Structure 1
Amino acid sequence: MSVIHIHRHHHLGLEEARKVAFLWAEQAEEQFDMECAYEEGDTLDTVYFSRAGVKGTLQVQHDQFELRAELGFLVGAFKSRIEQEIAEQLDTLLHPAGPGKKHKHATKKKKG
């Protein structure tokens, strides 16, 4: 069984981190056909996610996210690609318009 482990520090605080985690869960359901369940705690929230061949958790704290996923045999063949996509998705949610990146909704320039 293959395991994916992604760890990200942040400075959002728990309330803002929850918003990011909810967005991540929504995207995981839509893009990866995952079933997600969200459990809030006082200092730690957990998103449980699963689908055929994949199960895992995203733990949410005031200063970090920690994702662990177990991949079944068949899905494990795509571990690198899956890990890269999840990491990019989480990084985009944590840093939607980092240095040197353009916003999706750029303003139009005037002609003339």
Structure 2
Amino acid sequence: MSDIQYQQAHTLGIDRARELAREWMDDAARKMGLSCKHEQGADRDTITFERMGVTGTMLVSGNSFDLDVNLGLMMKAFKPMIEAEVSKNLARIIEKASGSSQA
């Protein structure tokens, strides 16, 4: 069972969602020291990530981002902060992309 489960629906389509997922992955690697791996599928991509105390998966489709994060014992104390940051960052990225796609 994941410690953090987060789903964010969107209407961006798979190509734009892939771009955003790659941006998120690069940003997460740089800011949080995550080691990330991206596997592209026909209609859904999988991003796996890890660092000491954190492992997780993000499924990227044409209509949602589904994130599952497992926290190590020492990281569980930071769960509320991590959840808030994940929610804020994904919502911001999608909002920015949605706004720019409507311009």
Q: Which residue of the partner structure matches residue 96 of structure 1? A: 96
Tell me which residue corresponds to 2:63.
63
Q: Equivalent residues in 2 for 1:3-14 (5 A)?
A: 3-14=3-14
**2:15 matches 1:22:** no
| Cα root mean square deviation, aligned | 1.8
Amino acid in structure 2 at the alignment position of 1:65: F
SS at match of 1:11: coil
Q: Deviations over 1:30-80 (max 9, x none)?
A: 111100000000011011000000000010001011000000010010000
> Which 5+ residue runs of structure 2 have no aligned equivalent?
none
More helix by share: 2
User: For the structure 1 residues 45 and 97, does the alpha-carbon distance in structure 2 shift closer, same or farther, using more than 3 Å as the test?
Assistant: closer
Aligned pairs (5 A) from 1:72-111:
72-96=72-96
The code of the aligned residue for 1:27 comes to D
Does structure 2 retain, via aligned residues, the 8 Å contact 1:2–1:72?
no
- TM-score, normalisation: structure 1: 0.83
8 Å contact kept, 2:58–2:66: yes
User: Does residue 1:41 correspond to 2:29, yes or no?
Assistant: no
Structure exhibiting the larger radius of gyration computed from Cα positions: 1
